[in-house]
Amino acid sequence: MSPPPRRKAAGSATGKVEPGGVQSVRRAIAVLKALTTTDEGLTLTEVCQTVGLAPSTAHRLLTTLQDERFARVDPATGLWSVGVEAFSVGNGFLRARDLVSMARSEMRQLMYDSGETVNLAVEDEGQATYLAQVECREMMRAFAKPGARVPLHCSGVGKALLAAMEPVAVQRMLEERPPVRATQRTLASASQLMTDLEATRARGYAIDDQEQAIGLRCVAAVIRDEHGGPMAAVSLSGPMARITDARVPMLGDLVMRSARAITGRMGGRVGDPAPGGTPT
C-alpha cells in the first residue's frame, strides 16, 4: 500500500533568499524558517523549492544546522525538521523579555500623548493584576499600586483581556466567578458583559465607564502574545471631567497604538483577528 500524500509546505517563510548582508547566514536562516512551515518535515527538494537554493547548497546548510542541533533529519523518511537547539534559543528570548521594562517607554509616551495615567496589567486567577503605572501630571489622577488586583468584568484592562479570550473561556470564567456589582454602572450580568465585549472587539478597545469607581473612566487595549492570545493590557484612566465622550475615540486610538507597539516589542502577533473574526 502506498503511503498517504503528505501536506505540502505552507509556502515560503521568507520567499526567495535575498541578496545583501552575510549571504551564508541569510541562507541558513531562510532554511531554518522553511522548516517551521510544516509539522511533518520537508524533503531536501521541498527545502530547495521553498528557499530557492541549489540542492548542494541546501544540503550543506542543512547538515551544518544538524551539526549544531538546529535541524534534524529522520533517517527513515529523509524529512528535515527543526532541531532542539532552536527551541533552546527561543526559550532564551522568552526568558529575556521583561514585559514591564519593554512596555515602560510606550507607557510613558502614552501618558504624554493622552495627559492621563497609564497602567499595565495581566490576568491572574480570574482577576486583573496591575504590574506598573506611569502617573500623569494632573492634580486629579487615578492611582493603582503595582500588585493591586481588580475584577476583570468592571475594569478597562480586565475587559480588554476578556474580549481577546475565546468566548467559551470567558463563559467558564464567569461561571466560576460571577460578576459582582461595584457601582450602579457595573455590568453585573453575564449577558450584559458579553454584549459589551462584542462592542469592545468591534472597536478594538475596552471602556470602563464608572464601572469600578464613580467618576473614573478607563480606556484599555490588549497586548498579544506570540500566539495572538492576550498577554496583558494597557490602559489610561482619569476623571470623567477629562475623559469625556468626545475624547474617548481619540484616546482609544492612542491606547490601541500603544498596545500594538508593545505587542511588537514582545514578539507578539500584531493585528490578529479577535474571537468572532473582528480585526483588532
User: Any idea what the CATH number is for the domain that residue 106 is in?
Assistant: 3.30.450.40
Per-residue confidence at 12, pLDDT binned at 50, 70, 90? very low
**φ/ψ bin of 162: left (φ > 0), alpha (ψ from -120 to 50), beta (otherwise):** alpha
> Starting from the edge strand earliest in sequence, which strands make up the sheet with 149-151, in order?
149-151, 127-134, 117-124, 230-239, 216-224, 206-209
pLDDT value for 72: 94
Of the listed ranges 24-28, 30-34, 137-141, the one predicted with least confidence: 137-141
2 assigned to some structural domain: no
11 assigned to some structural domain: no
Q: Pick 89 or 112 by higher pLDDT.
A: 112
Which residues touch 278 (CB under 8 Å, ≥6 apart)?
201, 202
- On the question of pLDDT at 15 being above 80, the answer is no
The answer to whether the beta carbons of residues 266 and 225 sit under 8 Å apart is yes
66 phi/psi in degrees, rounded to 5: -65, -40
205 assigned to some structural domain: yes
Partners of 221 in beta bridges: 234
My answer on whether 238 and 106 are in the same domain is: yes
Q: Pick 93 or 266 by higher pLDDT.
A: 266
Compute the 3-state secondary structure of the chain and give helix, strand, coil in percent, each to the nearest 5: 40, 20, 40
Q: What's the total number of domains in the chain?
A: 2
Partners of 28 in beta bridges: none
Of the listed ranges 11-15, 26-30, 60-64, 182-186, the one predicted with least confidence: 11-15
My answer on whether 167 and 228 are in the same domain is: yes
Residue 197, all three cell numbers = 465585549
Per-residue confidence at 280, pLDDT binned at 50, 70, 90? very low
Total residues belonging to the chain = 280
169 assigned to some structural domain: yes
pLDDT value for 136: 81
pLDDT value for 133: 92
Residue among 197, 209, 228, 231 at smallest CA distance from 128: 231
pLDDT value for 226: 86
87 assigned to some structural domain: yes
Report the percentage of the chain scoring pLDDT > 70.
85
Our CA dihedral for 202, 134, 258, 88, rounded to 10 degrees, sits at -110
CA distances from 217 to 36, 45, 139 (A): 44, 58, 16
Domain of 50 in residue numbering reads as 23-91
- On the question of pLDDT at 6 being above 60, the answer is no
Residue 103, all three cell numbers = 512596555
pLDDT value for 20: 54
Per-residue confidence at 139, pLDDT binned at 50, 70, 90? low
